[in-house]
A = this chain, B = another copy of it.
Amino acid sequence: MDVTVAIDCMGGDHGPHVTVPAALDYLRRNGNVNIILVGQQEVIAAELRKFKADGEPRLAVQHASEVVSMDEPPAIALRSKKDSSMRVAVNLVKDGTAHACVSAGNTGALMAISRFVLKTLPDIERPAICSVLPALQGHTYVLDGLLNIGAEDIKGNEVVKGAAELLRASGLNFYGNVEGDDIFKGTTDVVVCDGFVGNVALKTSEGLAKMLSTYLRDEFNRNVLTRLAGAVALPVLNAFKRRIDPRLYNGASLLGLRGIVVKSHGAADRLSFRVAIARAVEEARGGVLNHITEQMSVLQEGAA
């Protein structure tokens, strides 16, 4: 199946300087995919010329005059920027022109626009955000969104307790409560947590991984002998680095919508953003929306 992905080129800390070359990198490496670059036409065109890619047949440009800024309140982005690159990219998914869209922009705005434009799948009240992380065994999907269920009047622990009861009664293969370290142990395929806690877990992990790699480099740079040891160990260290490269885990899915929306890290670089594009294509090919719809109806039947 040929997959078409709409890319919000203006989103993220680096905008088209990252999103456009990442899209080109992706196309160069993968067949059966078309990309629609959404954003300010002149800016995108300049970027394409820079990479001598203005003639690429699998690429289209869709002009959008406005840009949602990274710190813009979601409600403002939703109400007053109808021609933002983010909104237009999501519209392309809505009207069937694209199978999926990818944005490195403002998370809150992307969520608000996606919900408003695409709506949620049957029996799903609000979408969740799903990230993937490496684990000792395979991967762990971290699904955050619990807070969205609406828990204004109960404490964090009570939200978790209440959610556990719901999950236990749901007919899903619910393992039970897990702790932070279970994410990387790979104890379960999916860890569900609220958005705040999920953000802390991901950001803390990112910070720790960076600190550890700095420490490791420091130790190998300590003196002539350690530098020699580092040279000998370099291929191994590089293999290690590749295996834990956080850029390879970029791309969080907004799940539960009637369309595929992938949120890239705002600070994503070219490789990182390409990984997010790959994730969107994979979800489109895997028919993730059909899977969710089917499973939801099975769960509803079980509950009825």
Interface assignment of A25: CB less than 8 Å from any CB of chain B: no
**CA gap between A193 and B180 in the complex, in Å:** 15
**Does the CB pair B204–A184 fall under 8 Å?**
yes
What string of 1s and 0s marks CB contacts (under 8 Å) between A192-227 and chain B? 011011011111111111111011100110100010
A236 to chain B, nearest CB (A): 5
> Which single member of B204, B215, B229, B239 contacts A204 (CB below 8 Å)?
B204
* Copies assembled: 2
What residues on B are CB-neighbors of A254 within 8 Å? none
Instruction: Give Cα A96 to B200, complex, Å.
Output: 40
- Is A235 among interface residues, defined by CB-CB distance under 8 A? yes
Binding site for B on A (CB under 8 A): 134-136, 147, 151-157, 160, 179-185, 193-194, 196-197, 199-212, 214-216, 219-220, 222, 226, 228-230, 232-233, 235-237, 239-240, 243-244
State how many angstroms separate the Cβ of A178 from the closest Cβ of chain B. 9
Verify A184–B208 contact, CB threshold 8 A: yes
Contact of A197 among B179, B196, B202 (CB under 8 A): B196
